[in-house]
Amino acid sequence: MTNLTEKNLGYGFGLLGGLLIALGALTALVLGAADLVVGRWFGAASFASEAVVLFVVGALAAFFAYLGNHGWKDRPSTSGVILVVVGLLGWGLLGIGTNLLAIVGGIFVFLAGILYLVEPMRKVAVATVAA
């Protein structure tokens, strides 16, 4: 693998996705504070709970993207599967909601997981063809 590998690109996508999800959480927190000022208690509680979930999903995405490039360099398939699951979990929790930043971040996390899985799948395909 040369300069820009799938793993490095996956690392960048994972960090970008985690950052976008965290930015979506911050947006939800600001909107919840605005609802609280206006007096919409249930809307504020909804935005606050969404912000907590998004902060956790964004932190998980950034953490596993970091581990995949540094701590688990020799196990890209583990990082890839976990990032795919975190991306799908983010989509499942968000649905097609109003928080566009978090949805785009979830897409980047999902793509990061797929990019981490390219190299192990290539090795499996070569081993299967050689056998």
pLDDT in tens, 100-114: 788 888 888 888 888
pLDDT digits over 10-30, tens only? Answer: 888 888 988 988 888 888 888
The tens place of each residue's pLDDT in the chain, 131 residues long, gives: 455 677 778 888 888 988 988 888 888 888 888 888 888 888 788 888 888 888 888 898 888 888 877 766 667 777 788 888 888 877 777 665 667 788 888 888 888 888 888 777 778 788 888 77
Q: Where are the domains of the chain?
A: 6-130
Question: Which whole-number Å values give the CA distances from 4 to 1, 56, 64, 92, in the listed order?
Answer: 8, 29, 19, 31
Whether 86 and 17 have beta carbons less than 8 Å apart is answered as no
